[in-house]
């Protein structure tokens, strides 16, 4: 009965529009009061969830992303993407996806990528003759690449929960992330030809070279992070601080996109964003503890294993479950609640833990663009000034494309595992 109240309270808060973190906290408090458990448990388990060295990555990478974006990196990335593919049919749509793939090495979060790239690309695409829902759909879909190509905030959370190597997960996400980006570029091209969307003029190799100088520093940032982790120069947490210092120097002295007087505002914005994420982690840990005490994860695992022990069928069931969960639950909350029990099932049937982590993160990223509650859809629709229903209809071809990539990544482990096996044997 108390478990029913737990889930009912959580669902009611979401329906009323409360943030996911607040919904988790309220639902947990309702359960604890009903079970006559001291509410000090909330503080204890929230702190336990947040007290992790790996979680210190989040403020560092969030600050690095804000500094690079504030420094003018978004415009440079869009210019480079447009120089490369702008002359092809649907060129601005292709540049949108290309820009997201490059920006993925900076932000680590899909929502930040939607807002940053979308603020530049959606108005530009509309002015050039693209349908507003299509422009919003491309932006939202492309943003899912962000947390797959390293660095990735969801992978940091997975490492915190499971003890899996964050460095190996970063490497494991590189090939699936690139595959996802190229698949979406093919989708954009096909739709653009069918709808006769415009194409730009060939900018010439000179413009490609000039624009590449601006995008070079963004690409170098990703290389520095990966080389430092793979080469053993620093931990992922230390890498986030290096990334923030790098972004500060590049933004201030190379791009010259912000002044020192703007730094307090960028620091405050990063602190608020990081604080919200870490608070969500803490409250989700309380919710997860309640589920564990009620043996809900064990029941889920037992139910799945009672249906089958075939790892290929288990992968299919996990994909279906997470695609559904991703439509209404925030990524970090879903990871904290569901990843540990699902990982136990995966290991039991012989699925590599790193491979499984990539499957889970990719599933939940697709959920960010899945109606009715995909967060990236809301952000893109707001920028494009169109209804959520219009964007939801336009996103369908990209959802199909992304799910096909998900199935490839799920059933071809080598796509995820060959790079970490090669670089970190």
Half-sphere exposure of 125 (CA within 13 A, CB side): 33
Alpha-carbon distance of 173 to 117, in angstroms, equals: 21
Alpha-carbon distance of 288 to 334, in angstroms, equals: 10
How far is CA 356 from each of CA 47, 229, 257, 378, rounded to the nearest angstrom? 28, 21, 40, 29
The predicted structure's pLDDT at residue 91? 79
**Cis, bond preceding 71 (omega within 30 deg of 0):** no
The predicted structure's pLDDT at residue 156? 81
Write down the domain spans for the chain.
38-423
User: CB under 8 Å to 16, separation ≥6 — which residues?
Assistant: none
What pTM value is reported for the model?
0.79
Are the C-beta atoms of 380 and 118 separated by less than 8 Å? yes
The predicted structure's pLDDT at residue 184? 92
Alpha-carbon distance of 51 to 282, in angstroms, equals: 9
Which residue from 365, 333, 255 is spatially nearest to 13, judged by alpha carbons?
A: 333
The predicted structure's pLDDT at residue 402? 92
The predicted structure's pLDDT at residue 208? 78
Half-sphere exposure of 141 (CA within 13 A, CB side): 34
Runs of H (alpha helix) within 88-235: 91-107, 110-127, 132-143, 153-162, 166-195, 205-230
Alpha-carbon distance of 216 to 224, in angstroms, equals: 12
Phi, psi angle pair for 149, to nearest 5°:
-75, 130
**What are the per-10-residue average pLDDT scores of the chain (425 residues)?**
81 77 84 85 82 74 75 71 77 81 66 72 81 90 83 81 85 91 92 85 76 75 74 77 83 77 83 78 81 78 84 91 77 80 89 94 86 75 83 91 94 92 78
Alpha-carbon distance of 221 to 244, in angstroms, equals: 10
**Cis, bond preceding 372 (omega within 30 deg of 0):** yes
The predicted structure's pLDDT at residue 105? 60
User: CB under 8 Å to 47, separation ≥6 — which residues?
Assistant: 282
Are the C-beta atoms of 290 and 41 separated by less than 8 Å? no
Q: Which residues of 332-352 are buried (b: 16+ CB within 10 A; e: fewer)?
A: bbbbbbbbbbbbebbeebebe
The predicted structure's pLDDT at residue 300? 77
User: CB under 8 Å to 319, separation ≥6 — which residues?
Assistant: 359, 363, 406, 407, 410
Residue 25, both tokens: 């906290």
The predicted structure's pLDDT at residue 54? 66
Runs of H (alpha helix) within 196-309: 205-230, 236-249, 263-293, 296-307
Alpha-carbon distance of 413 to 16, in angstroms, equals: 41
Half-sphere exposure of 224 (CA within 13 A, CB side): 18
For 364, which DSSP code? H
How far is CA 176 from each of CA 104, 318, 321, 358, 416, rounded to the nearest angstrom? 13, 18, 20, 8, 6
Residue 329, both tokens: 């639950």
Distance between alpha carbon 352 and the CA centroid of its chain, in Å?
Answer: 21
């Amino acid at each position: 009965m108390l478990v029913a109240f737990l889930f009912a309270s959580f669902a009611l808060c979401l329906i009323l529009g409360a943030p996911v973190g607040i919904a988790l906290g309220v639902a947990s408090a309702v359960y604890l009061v009903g079970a006559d458990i001291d509410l000090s448990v909330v503080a204890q388990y929230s702190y336990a969830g947040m007290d992790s060295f790996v979680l210190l990555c989040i403020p560092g990478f969030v600050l690095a992303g804000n500094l690079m974006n504030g420094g003018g990196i978004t415009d440079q990335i869009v210019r480079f993407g447009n120089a490369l593919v702008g002359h092809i049919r649907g060129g601005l749509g292709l540049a949108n996806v290309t820009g997201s793939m490059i920006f993925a090495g900076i932000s680590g979060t899909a929502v930040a990528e939607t807002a940053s790239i979308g603020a530049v690309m959606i108005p530009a695409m509309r002015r050039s003759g693209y349908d507003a829902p299509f422009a919003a759909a491309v932006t939202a879909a492309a943003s899912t690449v962000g947390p797959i190509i390293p660095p990735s905030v969801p992978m940091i959370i997975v490492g915190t929960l499971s003890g899996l190597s964050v460095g190996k997960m970063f490497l494991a996400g590189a090939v699936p992330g690139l595959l996802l980006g190229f698949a979406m570029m093919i989708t954009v091209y096909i739709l653009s030809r069918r709808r006769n969307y415009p194409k730009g003029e060939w900018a010439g190799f000179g413009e490609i070279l000039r624009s590449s100088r601006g995008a070079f520093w963004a690409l170098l940032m990703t290389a520095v992070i990966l080389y430092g982790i793979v080469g053993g120069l620093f931990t992922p947490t230390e890498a986030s601080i290096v990334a923030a210092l790098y972004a500060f120097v590049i933004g201030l002295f190379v791009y010259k996109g912000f002044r020192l007087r703007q730094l307090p505002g960028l620091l405050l914005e990063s602190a608020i964003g990081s604080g919200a994420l870490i608070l969500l982690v803490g409250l989700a840990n309380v919710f997860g503890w309640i589920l564990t005490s009620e043996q809900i994860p064990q029941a889920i695992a037992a139910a799945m294993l009672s249906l089958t022990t075939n790892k290929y069928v288990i992968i299919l069931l996990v994909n279906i479950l997470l695609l559904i969960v991703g439509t209404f639950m925030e990524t970090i909350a879903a990871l904290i609640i569901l990843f540990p029990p699902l990982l136990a099932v995966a290991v039991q049937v012989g699925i590599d833990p790193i491979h499984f982590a990539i499957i889970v993160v990719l599933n939940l990223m697709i959920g960010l663009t899945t109606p009715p509650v995909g967060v990236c859809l809301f952000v893109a629709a707001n920028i494009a000034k169109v209804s959520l229903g219009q964007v939801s209809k336009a996103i369908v071809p990209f959802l199909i494309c992304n799910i096909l990539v998900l199935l490839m990544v799920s059933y071809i482990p080598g796509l995820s595992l060959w790079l970490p096996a090669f670089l970190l044997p």
